[in-house]
Structure 1
Amino acid sequence: MSFSAYIICATPRSGSTLLCDLLTASGIAGRPNSYFRSQDISYWAGLWGVDDPTTDFDPTFNLAYLAAMKRAGLAGTGIFGLRLMWQAVSDTEKRLNAAFGKTADVATLLELAFGPTLFIHLSRRDKDAQAVSLVRAEQTGLWHVATDGSERERTTPPHAPFFNAVQINRSRDRLITDDENWSSFFDQRGFEPLRIFYEDLADKPQATLAGVLSSLGRDANISSTINPSTAKMADHTSFLWKQRIS
């Protein structure tokens, strides 16, 4: 099957930034990002010159936003890339229904918007480690670092992390539920997504990229020329926290 788009269906701290970076760096598979993340809608709209909406689900705004999103996500490569967290699915459905003037299922709307779509289910086997990573990012404000050790994404001024078993367990339960919701999403619609695990992506990023490019009908050989720009953040503190909740 020939695809004109792909959607990385993920949960926080599952390696989605690393995968987005690799696909963007390939130069042949769009520029995936979290274009439907509610907290970022205003940022993207301003960047793309889309006029402010009269309401959250203003049809005129959402149609114009969708058009601008497609240009950004295509990045001149002929294939559109999108990252979508489970928490954004409901809002995405509302925005697309507003744009198209329909009342339809989000899967139908996504293919209407972007054409034949490859769904990529990005998950993490070790949910304890994922929860620890998420809590540390939330506490410290530091979400990503570059391979040279410099900060790539920070959302708050620096704060020292502190062990909180309740917070970690709550995050783990939410991550498990979100991942299960993605599985149900595919099962209920008869989709067979391309399945990728964080552990494999982190261990063999170029091989993982090659698999995605091949599934999209793109030249997988280019993956050997792409190096990760995002580094792992787990350290001895992460290990100790995980041991304390295991």
Structure 2
Amino acid sequence: MSKSYFICTTPRSGSTLLCRLLEATGRTGNPDSFYHRAEFMREWAEAWGLPDAGAVSQSAFDIAYLAGAIKAGKAGTEVFGLRLQFEYLKLLSDTLGRIFPGLPSDADRFQRAFGEILYVHLTRADKVAQAVSLVKAQQSGLWHMNADGTEYERLGAPRDPQYDFSVLHREVEALERDDRAWCAWFDRHEIRPLRIGYEAFAAQPSQTVIEICGALGLEPSEAGHVSPRLAKLSDAVSEQWILRYRADLASSRQGIERV
């Protein structure tokens, strides 16, 4: 039985919904992005009552933060959960390298810190839709909504999103690059992750939770009662952006070919 799992993913892949569903089982901890942007990590550290990073040595803070993350990620269960985006994999590995020096690889450091790990690779096949979701969230400030229509997570002041082909294209390429990087990382470390597709997960979320519980060695039937608590943010504007992006992309490629 794996005692830990990593949800290895990219932004706007459905990972927040998956984390909340796994938390709702009461058996699979409370997975979250404990190693992420500096401001988020400061908020975690404050919530856990850790000393200010500037008041103690880097080593002392790293060790205290790891202990806090493990406690939060377990949430009173026997299983630790972590959501990890590829751009923060090096941050996690470097931090653990300071705590456990001399280990030869990322995977060795992760196992030393968290025990036997189930790696879950959560991907979204439609990178254009994923990029649209990401850019709209960045611009509007609204990242997630509850199923009842109230806001669950807002990270910026409200403003109307504006279509920008170059911004979307940059995000599509970044999402594709990070997905390839995850696959290369798994291959390099000879890891066979549990692969979860956003589209299948969105269609049958409870089935995905059951699959993860089974892979962790937990009784799958105990996860069947969970249900989504977040609403999809995709709307008519999202569909318009997707169609417009595809048309603009085709037009730009035709222009290149003529040149």
2:103 and 2:109 in contact (8 A); partners too: no
Instruction: Give the letter aligned to residue 35 of structure 1.
Output: F
State whether structure 2 residue 61 is matched by structure 1 residue 61: yes
Instruction: Give the letter aligned to residue 245 of structure 2.
Output: I
Paired with 2:18 and 2:189, the residues of 1 have a C-alpha distance of 25
Paired with 1:104 and 1:55, the residues of 2 have a C-alpha distance of 31
Q: Using the TM superposition, give the Cα deviation of residue 53 of structure 1 relative to its aligned residue in structure 2, in angstroms.
A: 2.1
Paired with 1:32 and 1:71, the residues of 2 have a C-alpha distance of 11
> Over residues 160-216 of structure 1, what are the superposed CA-to-partner deviations in whole Å (9 max), with x where a residue is unaligned?
011111100000000000010000000111110000011111110011111011111
Q: Using the TM superposition, give the Cα deviation of residue 105 of structure 1 relative to its aligned residue in structure 2, in angstroms.
A: 2.1
**Residue matched to 1:226:** 226
Instruction: Give the letter aligned to residue 168 of structure 1.
Output: L
**Residue matched to 2:239:** 239
Larger displacement relative to structure 2 (70-79 or 55-64): 55-64
Give the structure-1-normalised TM-score: 0.96
2:125 and 2:198 in contact (8 A); partners too: yes
**Residue matched to 1:172:** 172
Q: Using the TM superposition, give the Cα deviation of residue 77 of structure 1 relative to its aligned residue in structure 2, in angstroms.
A: 1.0
Q: Using the TM superposition, give the Cα deviation of residue 55 of structure 1 relative to its aligned residue in structure 2, in angstroms.
A: 9.0
Give the structure-2-normalised TM-score: 0.91
Q: Unmatched 5+ residue regions in structure 2?
A: 247-259
**Residue matched to 2:15:** 16
Instruction: Give the letter aligned to residue 116 of structure 1.
Output: E
1:147 and 1:231 in contact (8 A); partners too: yes
Paired with 1:104 and 1:187, the residues of 2 have a C-alpha distance of 16
Paired with 1:57 and 1:118, the residues of 2 have a C-alpha distance of 32
> Over residues 28-69 of structure 1, what are the superposed CA-to-partner deviations in whole Å (9 max), with x where a residue is unaligned?
001100001133111111111111224998111101111111
Structure of greater Rg? 2
1:121 and 1:193 in contact (8 A); partners too: yes
Identity score, percent: 40
Q: CA RMSD in A?
A: 1.4
DSSP 3-state at the match of 1:148: coil
**Residue matched to 2:114:** 114
Larger displacement relative to structure 2 (145-154 or 90-99): 90-99
Paired with 1:56 and 1:125, the residues of 2 have a C-alpha distance of 44
Instruction: Give the letter aligned to residue 27 of structure 1.
Output: G
2:33 and 2:82 in contact (8 A); partners too: yes
Instruction: Give the letter aligned to residue 16 of structure 1.
Output: S
Paired with 1:194 and 1:51, the residues of 2 have a C-alpha distance of 37
Superposed counterparts of 1:65-80, under 5 Å: 65-80=65-80
Q: Using the TM superposition, give the Cα deviation of residue 90 of structure 1 relative to its aligned residue in structure 2, in angstroms.
A: 1.0
Superposed counterparts of 1:109-188, under 5 Å: 109-188=109-188
> How many positions carry a matched residue from both structures?
245
**Residue matched to 1:100:** 100
Paired with 2:6 and 2:168, the residues of 1 have a C-alpha distance of 28
Instruction: Give the letter aligned to residue 23 of structure 1.
Output: L
Larger displacement relative to structure 2 (119-128 or 48-57): 48-57
1:60 and 1:99 in contact (8 A); partners too: no
1:144 and 1:152 in contact (8 A); partners too: yes
